[in-house]
Amino acid sequence: MKQTKLCLLCAIAILAGCASDAPLSTSAVRGRPGTSDTLPAPAASVTAYKVALANHIAAANGERMYAGRPQALLRSVVVVKYVVDGDGRLVRSEIMRSNHDRTTEATALATLRNSAPFPPPAPHLLQRGRLELAETWLFNNDGRFQLRSTAQKQVDE
């Protein structure tokens, strides 16, 4: 129970760390599973959208995330390439790079799938109605992970 509370607090801290002084405009997004009634306006850049998605994935998978800095020697680093359509639906995902740890590969793909649908990307980020992205899952020895887009610097050896 303490671990769940700690993970939830970490996810909230990550989200709070991405706060901006600029006012957020919202648009109604109703009836989509896994989303709130209102979402912030779409991110203006691919980098900002990746950070928003990393926070979304963290919020949906808090129990699998770890807080703090990644350990010096990671158990596994898994890079996943994925495609999101204009409505935020996950179209495709595949492992781009890995150390062939099947458990961490499966966890990376499952946490991505379980987090969908995502907030819709801004229309100007789309090419042919889709946005192709890559994210890196950083796994500690205990199997919990952080995402490179929002992770702290690794612990020095």
Place of tokens 């889709």: 130
Residue 65's domain comprises: 2-19+37-147
Would you say residue 85 lies in a domain?
A: yes
Backbone angles phi, psi at 77, to 5 degrees: -125, 120
Would you say residue 52 lies in a domain?
A: yes
Would you say residue 27 lies in a domain?
A: no
Place of tokens 């890079």: 79
Backbone angles phi, psi at 136, to 5 degrees: -110, 125
At 11 the pLDDT is 45
Instruction: Say whether pLDDT at 52 is over 60.
Output: yes
Instruction: Say whether pLDDT at 22 is over 80.
Output: no
Would you say residue 117 lies in a domain?
A: yes
**What is the domain-level CATH number for residue 81?**
3.30.1150
Place of tokens 């500690």: 140
> How many domains is the chain partitioned into structurally?
1
Instruction: Say whether pLDDT at 75 is over 80.
Output: yes
- pTM beyond 0.75, yes or no: no
Across the chain, what does the average pLDDT equal? Answer: 81
User: In this structure, what token pair is assigned to residue 14?
Assistant: 């990550």
Would you say residue 139 lies in a domain?
A: yes
Cα(61)–Cα(54) distance, integer angstroms? 10
For the chain, the farthest-separated pair of C-alpha atoms sits apart, in whole angstroms, at 48
Instruction: Say whether pLDDT at 91 is over 70.
Output: yes
137, 66 Cβ separation under 8 angstroms: no
Would you say residue 134 lies in a domain?
A: yes
Angle between helices 102-115 and 46-60 (to 10 degrees): 100
Would you say residue 83 lies in a domain?
A: yes
Cα(92)–Cα(31) distance, integer angstroms? 23
Q: What is the mean pLDDT of residues 52-72?
A: 93
